[in-house]
A and B are shown apart, each in its own frame.
Chain A
Amino acid sequence: MPILAKWYDFRDLGNAIGALQDQILDWGAPDWVPYVVSGIIGVVGILLWLLVSQIIFIWIERRVIGLMHNRIGPNRVGPMGLLQGVADAIKLLLKEAITPRATDTILFWAAPIAIFIPAMVVFAVIPFGEGMVLSDLDVGVLFFVAIGSINTIAVFAAGWSSNNKFALIGAMRQIAMLISYELVQVFAILGVVIMVGSMRMVDFVEWQSGNDVWMFAIQPLALVAFIIAGLVEVNRSPADISEAESELIAGFHTEYSGIKFGFFYAAEYFATFALCGVIVTLFMGGWTLWGLEEWVPGFLIFLTKLYAVFFIFIWARGTLPRLRIDQLMAFSWKFLLELMFVNILVVGLETLIWREGGYDAATVLPIFAAINWVLAIGLAIFWARMLGHGTASSAGKRATLTQELGAIYYEGAGTPGA
């Protein structure tokens, strides 16, 4: 696909921008004007896409979860409830944003803004199509991780400044979760980076389209770990224990209302979209689909894949029960992290053999894929057994908390702690 085709060639929205840049230069503007103009257009475009996607997906998510829960879901506002997202947005804008008296006012106002900025900045490195990346950074995927780690401070500021015990507990949980799962996320990415040999987001897509294979076929373990770690990082159910309604009211944003809550809500959605974008880029071939990108605009393929991945998150939210904090921590440190170490070792060895041996990609990659799939399934089962999970017991077992506390004891049900 030529980078500078006619401006109406909408297979690549960069064409229109490129034509505009040339036009501005023709008018005799200084060099920096086209860059500023195209930068502003890119930012506004991404923001508009995000807001529209969010408003639509609020409705889709609630309807789909309604179907999964065997209930109806929102169906009153507009045809089939389609305007529910708009109604929600208007409600959030008009509601009074209460600031409780005992809060730390400056931090209380700064936290929603501080959580919103990183959630948007991440989109700078996500390639929507060929030539459609706002800033093709040399260290793109590391940038994604780094920006995600700033969230922690914002969440802590929100929880602390609320001066509310539930908010503070939620914030501390969020910090614990982010620290634990950031490692898993980085190691999952590292496996892909080793094989591709670059951290630039565009290179991941080009490697996958060049070798005619999606990365998740070669490294299934990394994808699963990345999705789980991402679920925790963006704080969505079943890992939303920092705002678990049943125990913490609403966690770190208990005291927030109106548009300030809206910022948290939007930031969570944006972070999830960004995560889906990174998953699609790293593991699912980005804007390519085995030649279809010649006929269909690349960004449409990318968005389709992104929404498909988002559906997995909705699915997980609709079906899986929420975990406890200790289960979540143990799962990260005792299970996922070890599997990721093994994954990196194996992928590193394979890449070394591939590079040193100079083999053909078409012969080597299927073998690697087979090895990695067997290894992934075998390791997951083996490690779970070793930790004492994964074996179904017909005898029935007391809940762990009951075993440890020995508090709930029913007569005739055996001795506590057995």
Chain B
Amino acid sequence: MTVSSYVLPTLVFALIVYALVKKVNIYNAFIESAGKALPELLRLIPCLAAMLTALEALKSSGALGAFMGLVSPLAEKLGLAPPLVPLILLRPFSGSSSLALLRDVLTEHGADSPIGRAASVLVGSTETVFYTVTVYFGAVGVTKTRHAVPAALISGAVGAAVGVLLTRVM
């Protein structure tokens, strides 16, 4: 918050001044590059649609809820509090739903409770893996993503596990 409120305006200011001093036609440069953004965004829409549609199918059908009911007892045996399970499952797919879920967990259990702190670290140290894969590969038309998804999911699992464990000692 504080970082972006100082650093960003300064950086953009410096960039414009530097480019003007270097006699760059910044107006043309901006228009030319910003124009490239639109075709890129158009190419992203179908990829995002595929992912969000699949997610919606799981969510609204109740399949996701049923799966969580199934997994919760298992997770509890591993020492993972039940409220953390839906967070872990949804986190790779959607940033906004995991933030909404985090809000629910914090409201119900308290932001400074062990569960609340574990949930916060969990969301902070992991990323929307499937969103990243969809957008970045979709933009360049790559469909054979090789080991990107497994590697990213392993990284996320390690981040989540380390994060949850750390909140017990820190």
A and B form one complex: no
Chain B positions near chain A (C-beta within 8 angstroms): none
Chain A positions near chain B (C-beta within 8 angstroms): none
